[in-house]
Each structure stands twice: as structure tokens, then as C-alpha cells.
């Protein structure tokens, strides 16, 4: 199963997909990504956030590659299972 990068076609993902060397575009896309979460970032904060994105997305890539069972019955996380 390959990693699907842009399930939401988000600006930042799209920018990365289109041009890996577009640092200004990455920065603007990162600003929009933060703004979508209600964070107004600029200057060093924005730069640090933008720099961290590839690393963080690499980290969670595995979560999207695990083959979950799509037919499992609906159930929320049950915390720990009860003592046997």
C-alpha cells in the first residue's frame, strides 16, 4: 500500500507535491495550514513550523500505511480491555 500524501488536497501538501524546491510557496502553504488551525504564525515561528512539517509528516506516515480492517464493526476506543 503506498502512502497517499494529499487526502484533502491541502495547500501545503499540494505545494510539496508540485515543487519540492519552492521554499516561498512552502512557507505560504505552511502559514495557511497553521491559519486553518487558528494559529497566526509569522517570522521565526512560521519558519520553524514550516521546517518541522516534513519531519512530522514522515513520522506519522506509518499511520496511513497500516492496513486497517475497513469492515470491522463500529466501535470507539474502549480504553484498556477488562481484566480477564
Partner 1 sequence: MIAADLADLTIAKASQLIRDGKVSPVDLTRASLDRIEALDERLNAFITVTADAALAAARQAETEISRSGPRSPLHGIPVAVKDLFDTAEVRTTAGSKILADYVTKTDSGAGERLHAAGAVILGKLNLHEFAFGATGVNPHYGPARNPWDTDRVTGGSSSGSGASVAAGECFAALGTDTGGSIRIPASLCGITGLKPTFGRVTRRGVLPLSWSLDHVGPMARSAEDCAIVLQAIAGHDPADASSAGEPAPSYTAALDSGAKGLRIGVPREFLFENLDPEVERAVREAIDVLRRLGAEVREVSLPYITEAPAAVTAIMLSEALAIHHRWLSERPDDYGEDVHFRLELGATFSALHYVQAQRFRELIVHTWRDDVFSQVDLLATPTTMVPAPTIESGDLQATFSLIRNTNPLNLLGIPAISVPCGFTQTSTSRPARPEVSKDERSNDAPLPIGLQLAARWWDEATLLRAAHTYQQATDWHTRRPPL
C-alpha cell at 44: 521565526
Cβ atoms of 26 and 12 closer than 8 Å: yes
Joined together, the cell numbers standing for residue 31 give: 502559514
Minimum distance of partner 1 from residue 29's CB (angstroms): 12
Residues 6-45: x where in contact with partner 1 by CB under 8 A, - otherwise, as a string: -xx-x----------------------xx-xxxxxx---x
Q: What is the spatial distance between Cα 44 and Cα 70, in angstroms, rounded to a whole number?
A: 42
Choose among 48, 46, 45, 58: nearest CA to 16.
Answer: 58
Q: Which residues inside 42-71 make contact with partner 1, applying CB under 8 A?
A: 45, 48-49, 52-53, 56-57, 59-64, 66, 68
Binding site for partner 1 (CB under 8 A): 7-8, 10, 33-34, 36-41, 45, 48-49, 52-53, 56-57, 59-64, 66, 68, 75, 77-83
Amino acid at each position: 500500500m503506498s502512502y497517499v500524501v494529499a487526502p484533502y488536497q491541502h495547500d501545503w501538501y499540494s505545494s510539496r507535491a508540485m515543487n519540492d524546491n519552492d521554499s516561498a510557496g512552502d512557507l505560504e502553504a505552511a502559514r495557511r495550514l497553521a491559519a486553518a488551525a487558528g494559529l497566526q504564525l509569522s517570522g521565526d515561528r512560521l519558519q520553524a513550523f514550516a521546517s518541522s512539517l516534513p519531519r512530522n509528516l514522515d513520522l506519522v506516515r506509518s499511520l496511513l500505511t497500516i492496513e486497517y480492517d475497513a469492515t470491522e464493526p463500529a466501535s470507539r476506543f474502549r480504553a484498556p480491555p477488562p481484566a480477564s
